[in-house]
Amino acid sequence: MTEKFQQFRKLVGEIFDLDAVVSVLEWDQQTYMPSGGAQVRAMQIATVYRLWHENLTGDEFSATLEAAKEETANLDPDSDEVRIIRHMKREVDQWRKVPSEWVGEFKRTTTLAHQAWEEARANDDFAHFQTHLEEIVKLRQQYSEFFAPFDHPYDPLLDYFEPGMKTSDVKAVFNELRPRQVELVREIAERGSPVDDSVLRQDYDVSKQWDFGVEVIKALGYDFNRGRQDRAAHPFTTSFGIGDVRITTRFDPKYLGTALFGTIHEAGHAMYDQGVSPSLDRTDLITGASYGVHESQSRMMENLVGRSRPFWVAFFPRLQKYFPSQLGEVDMESFYRAINKVEPSLIRVEADEATYNLHIMLRFEIEIALAENKLSVADLPEVWNSKMEEYLDLTPPNDAKGVLQDVHWSSGYIGYFATYSLGNLMASQFWAKMEEDIPDLTNQIERAQFTEMLNWLRENIHQHGAKFEPLELLQRVTGNTLSVEPYLHYLSGKYEDIYKLS
């Protein structure tokens, strides 16, 4: 390491520390904080976040960055040094456009909004959350304005989560996906051999659910020496450093799917964060290339692994031992079909793969309308319900199972949802390449052997952290740009088999 880069690296570490500290405060808020702590916690988070912003956008850091850049001009453009500088430069350019006051206000608002959302959802009381969400939408609209001019006011929000992606790109993807996903769902409904998932809807002891979930994610490769699992109202993954990547989960004592697939999903995120190269620790690059790439890892674990037949060849006998009275008489094939039942449903995180993206499109359209200031928050429940009707032919019985179901907006995450769908696409693209490289993959999964799979993911994706932008990473790994075909190919293949369509 060279002298100027070293000085820069020190400041990068301190900026990272502040960001990580906010994550610790938020993790605590969502897991263990007593209700009395909410007000002061909001101030604490706002104060640290503001300092993070001041340090990141201050003249000292920019000068140090420029000096380091000059000093490392002749290094390999793929070296850690060059990539750390490039990444931080992008962050500085982005955040210099945003005033510190906005940053503190945003964190204070979202921290309190999160608390209000939890209460609103628990009591099915949208009004309790409405003013909080109005503030958040206003703040996000302001955020957008900091980046004017833009093609679309939603672009800066999307770019926040998926660097380089435009509203028009996502619209194009969804326009390709929509008719073919709708057609698939229609075909399944009309011609599919019926699937019964009642085996999943029995009494399942929560502590046994916990234990089985832990057994699964340990087998997949989640490292409990560098992480832990706790309960929270909404499952999430958070990284405070490569050595401390935590996940949360939640349970439904009458439905096996909630915790099981939630846990595997979060473990997918967490293994990404645990797999980043130690040379990037204490930099902002340790949390992955983008939210979309992150979702590719979580949705891959949840669906391509966790909802696959080979996986249950290995794990169904184990699951039966946890729940002999519920599953002892069930055959693996019925269970496999049950966890893949396609049925329009109210809750996104429990949606099957065929309808999942429709949940996303609905949210995407609503967010665009909010960004364009064409939709008032007060009208959200009604608009939500009418779009549910349109996309999934369902009417939510209440707002708790409708517009209040997701945590994202309470955290200010307007612009996030599309990354789930992008993640679905990338997951299939990565998977196709991995199958080429590991011809024996299916057999390995059937034997619960995940080492080679995890090594492939580490080698090709995880270790790089945010060194490469999403599409650059995709190109390096698969040789292709973003495409819907591998995903649709996977989906139709899977459901033709399960629903005996062909």
CB of 388 to its own copies, least distance (A): 37
Which of residues 66, 281, 350, 496 is near its own copies by CB under 8 A? 281
> Ramachandran region of residue 26, left (φ > 0), alpha (ψ -120 to 50) or beta?
alpha
Contact status, residue 154 vs residue 167, Cβ threshold 8 Å: yes
Cα–Cα distance measured from residue 14 to residue 51, given in angstroms and rounded to the nearest whole number: 11
Which of residues 156, 163, 213, 227 is near its own copies by CB under 8 A? 227
Which of residues 4, 7, 14, 454 is near its own copies by CB under 8 A? 14
CB of 269 to its own copies, least distance (A): 16
Active site residue 14: no
Cα–Cα distance measured from residue 493 to residue 501, given in angstroms and rounded to the nearest whole number: 10
Cα–Cα distance measured from residue 475 to residue 330, given in angstroms and rounded to the nearest whole number: 43
Beta strands 245-249 and 229-231 are parallel
Nearer to its own copies, 282 or 433 (CB): 282
Q: Of 22-30, 122-130, 461-469, 470-478, which part binds its own copies (CB under 8 A)?
A: 22-30
Rounded (5°) CA angle 151-482-493? 135
Q: Is 279 in the site for its own copies (CB under 8 A)?
A: no
Contact status, residue 253 vs residue 203, Cβ threshold 8 Å: yes
Q: DSSP string covering 424-482, please?
A: HHHHHHHHHHHHHH-TTHHHHHHTT--HHHHHHHHHHTGGGTTSS-HHHHHHHHHSS--
Which of residues 24, 139, 182, 206 is near its own copies by CB under 8 A? 24
Which of residues 198, 207, 225, 502 is near its own copies by CB under 8 A? 225
Q: Is 280 in the site for its own copies (CB under 8 A)?
A: no
CB of 351 to its own copies, least distance (A): 32
Residue tagged active-site, from 266, 295, 367, 469: 266
Cα–Cα distance measured from residue 178 to residue 398, given in angstroms and rounded to the nearest whole number: 26
Q: Is 35 in the site for its own copies (CB under 8 A)?
A: yes
> Ramachandran region of residue 347, left (φ > 0), alpha (ψ -120 to 50) or beta?
beta
Q: Is 218 in the site for its own copies (CB under 8 A)?
A: no
Q: Of 110-118, 206-214, 241-249, 292-300, which part binds its own copies (CB under 8 A)?
A: 241-249
Binding site for its own copies (CB under 8 A): 13-14, 17-18, 20-21, 24-25, 28, 32-41, 43-44, 47-48, 51, 223-228, 230, 240-244, 246, 281-282
Active site (catalytic) residues: 266
